[in-house]
Amino acid sequence: MSRRAASIFMDEAAIAAASKGTFTVAVSGGTTPLRFFELLASKFRGDVPWDRVHIFWVDERCVSSGHEDSNYKGAHEAFLSEVDIPPENIHRIKGELSPDEGAREYEEELRRYFGRGGLPVFDLVVLGVGEDGHTASLFPDGPSLSETGRLAIPVYVNKMRSWRITLTLPVLNNASHILFLVTGRKKALVLKEILENDVNNPKYPASLIRPFNGKVTWLLDSEASSQLTAIS
Ligand code: 6PG
């Protein structure tokens, strides 16, 4: 699955860099993408035009960039520190600021980069799914799911008793290509809900990912897909 994900990243980067000179990607945190990240810094390293890549995050925990929970730290250690991406191409969410300041600063960074008219269009967004069906830091039944005016917002996650900053659904759904990476038996039942039962269900925020114009690719391992009836 991780190799397939790295291959998609490589292909999308080549296409975007050739057509418009840049490739914009927003990545998730968590554990699922780590092997994918490592492959980008090893097997696929020489196949990506890193000087054209602009990396963003779909979310961040409100901690310093050196904190073990930081999504930036995870990506930096797994691949960003190993590839020749210019520092100015790394658009970190400043989790060390207050949640509201961090969200507003990230929103300003997005507008600085993508322009102020309309929604950012990411070439690729890499998402995971939590066992509760969350994606990015959009958690079940939360007010964040109905946010349409902001590009990024602070979210207090009750069960984790912690703040996060997340891209909002309109930004995610405006991407050209959304790539879900999901592994493990613990995700099998929530995946069945998302992929085979009730779509657009706020109990499963990942089911609200319906790109306006883009496409969605689901990469699952055999355990995560074990409860699905039809696999294409
Ligand atoms: C985060 C991620 C989050 C993640 C899911 C799945 O900040 O944690 O953005 O949305 O993708 O929680 O996490 P795992 O890959 O660790 O299962």
pLDDT of 174 higher than 70: yes
Q: Are 13 and 7 in contact (CB under 8 A)?
A: no
For residue 231, give every residue at least 6 positions away whose Cβ sits within 8 Å of its Cβ, in sequence order, or none. Answer: 225
Q: Which atom of ligand 1 is nearest to the CA of 181?
A: 15
Q: Is 95's C-beta closer than 6 angstroms to any atom of ligand 1?
A: no
- Give the pLDDT of residue 232: 57
- Give the pLDDT of residue 139: 97
Nearest CA, atom 12, ligand 1: 130
User: To test ligand 1's pocket by mutation, which of 25, 60, 69, 129 has the most ligand atoms within 8 angstroms of CB?
Assistant: 129
- Give the pLDDT of residue 230: 72
Nearest CA, atom 2, ligand 1: 29
The least confident of 23-27, 46-50, 141-145 is 141-145
What average pLDDT score do residues 170-188 get?
98
pTM summary value: 0.97
Q: Is 183's C-beta closer than 6 angstroms to any atom of ligand 1?
A: no
Please give, one letter per residue, the 3-state secondary structure of the chain: CHHHHHHHHHHHHHHHHHHHCCEEEEECCCCCCHHHHHHHCCCCHHHCCHHHEEEEECEEECCCCCCCCCHHHHHHHHHHCCCCCCHHHECCCCCCCCHHHHHHHHHHHHHHHHCCCCCCCCCEEEECCCCCCCECCECCCCHHHHCCCCCEEEEEEHHHCEEEEEECHHHHCCCCEEEEEECCHHHHHHHHHHHHCCCCCCCCHHHHCCCCCCEEEEEECCCCCCCCCCCC
Nearest CA, atom 3, ligand 1: 136
Q: What percent of the chain has pLDDT over 90?
A: 96
Among residues 12, 213, 96, the alpha carbon closest in space to that of 106 is found at: 96
pLDDT of 21 higher than 60: yes
pLDDT of 97 higher than 70: yes
- Give the pLDDT of residue 199: 76
- Mean confidence (pLDDT) of the chain: 97
Tell me how far apart the alpha carbons of residues 125 and 176 are, in angstroms, rounded to a whole number. Answer: 8
Q: Which atom of ligand 1 is nearest to the CA of 28?
A: 9
The least confident of 94-98, 104-108, 145-149, 196-200 is 196-200
User: To test ligand 1's pocket by mutation, which of 32, 92, 180, 186 has the most ligand atoms within 8 angstroms of CB?
Assistant: 32
- Give the pLDDT of residue 200: 87
Summarize pLDDT for 186-215 with one digit per residue, the tens.
999 999 999 998 678 999 999 999 999 999
User: Which tokens belong to 209?
Assistant: 């990912």
User: Which tokens belong to 38?
Assistant: 């490592």
User: To test ligand 1's pocket by mutation, which of 36, 56, 106, 135 has the most ligand atoms within 8 angstroms of CB?
Assistant: 135
Q: Calculate how far, in angstroms, residue 19's C-alpha sits from the geometric centre of ligand 1.
A: 31
Nearest CA, atom 15, ligand 1: 32
Summarize pLDDT for 128-172 with one digit per residue, the tens.
999 999 999 999 988 999 999 999 999 999 999 999 999 999 999
What average pLDDT score do residues 50-59 get?
98
Query: Which one has a higher pLDDT value, 117 or 94?
Result: 94
Instruction: Give 112's strand partners.
Output: none
Q: Are 43 and 35 in contact (CB under 8 A)?
A: no
- Give the pLDDT of residue 173: 98
